[in-house]
A and B are shown apart, each in its own frame.
Chain A
Amino acid sequence: MAAEVAARESPNRPMVPITYYLLLAAALFCMGMFGVLVRRNALVVFMCVELMLNAANLTFLAFARMRGDAVGHVSAFFVIAVAAAEAAIGLAIVIAVFRSRGSVLVEDIRTMKH
């Protein structure tokens, strides 16, 4: 226990500025958003949504480290749980759409567009 404390107290402040983590999260979020807006395959769109959720998680954890507060970790935990639920339902919808239309391209799903 004492060794653990000693090992962890040496980086008293984060050696990498928290801003770098936030910028990485912003870049990741924008890549996910780009994929959601530009890709046609509904499965890849879902994967890009997961990227965006991960970027949000990274922001939570970065601010948790900055404030020394465990609530950010709890939020990340909840985001992971909600992402699991979202993936299950979303993929079930993709399967149902593929069954009725034979396609997973988002531009082929336009019944409610007009």
Chain B
Amino acid sequence: MNIELILFGAFALLTLLSAGMVIFARSPINSAMALVSTFFFLAGIYVLLWAHTVAVMQVLVYAGAIMVLFLFVIMLLNLGESPTRGRPTLARLVGGAATVGLLAVLVITLLKVPGDAPVMAQEAQATFGTMALLGQTIFTQWLLPFEAVSLLLLVAMVGAVVVAKSRI
């Protein structure tokens, strides 16, 4: 047993537990809080994958910004517990069964992927996952997609105001 495996196991277990709480909690507030903890534990997993920058962005953007948006909407709509658990319709039963089938297919496929990573060069290891390397890649190779994303965020911002405002 090494420390990395123990950390991975702990984070993975906690991630799956909180994800289960997101799905099965009765009130949307509990789902939202469970989702926040899911994001935090996933950020831990990202650090284990040497993706420090993405882990920081995960905490800032997901656990910070997006979840505040969710909580704000729940507060605005004043939602309580869902009244009753709905009857299992045919569509839901088929959906649940399809999910189990998808999981089986994914597990069978992923077990065939070789889990070994090639050894990285030392210089590559020193910079892998840092903000500098990410910035360099984004602002040279991926500049156009980056600008397109900024446009997308602007459109989403204007669109959210237009859709949610009762009278313009």
Determine which of A35, A39, A64, A86 lies in contact with B49 in the assembled complex, contact meaning CB atoms within 8 Å. Answer: A64
In the assembled complex, the CB of A7 is this many whole angstroms from the nearest CB of chain B, namely 10
Determine if A5 and B159 form an interchain contact, defined as CB atoms under 8 angstroms apart.
no
Interface contacts beyond A23-B107, A37-B96: sample of 5 additional A-B pairs, CB < 8 Å, sorted by A: A28-B19, A89-B156, A92-B164, A93-B163, A95-B76
Chain A residues within an 8 Å CB radius of B98: 37
**Is A91 within 8 A of B42, CB to CB?**
no
9 residue pairs of the A-B complex, CB under 8 angstroms, read: A8-B50, A33-B99, A35-B23, A41-B82, A43-B73, A44-B28, A71-B137, A73-B129, A88-B69
Instruction: Tell me the smallest distance from the CB of B1 to a CB of chain A, in Å.
Output: 10
Are B23 and A34 in contact, CB atoms less than 8 angstroms apart? yes
Interface class of chain B by DSSP: helix
For the side of the interface on A, what is the size category? Answer: 35 or more
Count of chain A to chain B residue pairs whose CB atoms are closer than 8 Å in the complex:
239
Task: Check if A114 is an interface residue, CB within 8 A of chain B.
Answer: no
Q: Does B16 lie within 8 Å of A27, measured CB to CB?
A: yes
The residue that B115 contacts in the complex, of A18, A76, A87, A104, with Cβ under 8 A, is: A18
Binding site for B on A (CB under 8 A): 1, 4-5, 8-9, 11-24, 26-35, 37-41, 43-44, 46-48, 50-51, 54, 57-58, 61-62, 64-68, 70-71, 73-74, 76-78, 80-89, 91-96, 98-99, 104-105, 107
A80 to B36, CA, bound (A): 15
Q: A22 to chain B: closest CB distance in Å?
A: 5
CB-based contact B145/A78 at 8 Å:
yes
Produce 1/0 per residue, B82-114, CB < 8 A to A. Answer: 100010000110011011101100110011010
Q: Write out the residue numbers on chain B whose beta carbons fall within 8 Å of the beta carbon of A46.
A: 70
Please, which residue of chain A has its CB at the minimum distance from the CB of B30?
A44
CB contacts (< 8 Å) of B141 on chain A: these are: 71, 74
A-side contacts of B31, CB under 8 Å: 43-44, 47
Contact across chains for A16 and B73 when beta carbons are under 8 A apart: no
Q: Which residues on A sit within 8 Å (CB–CB) of B120?
A: 12, 68
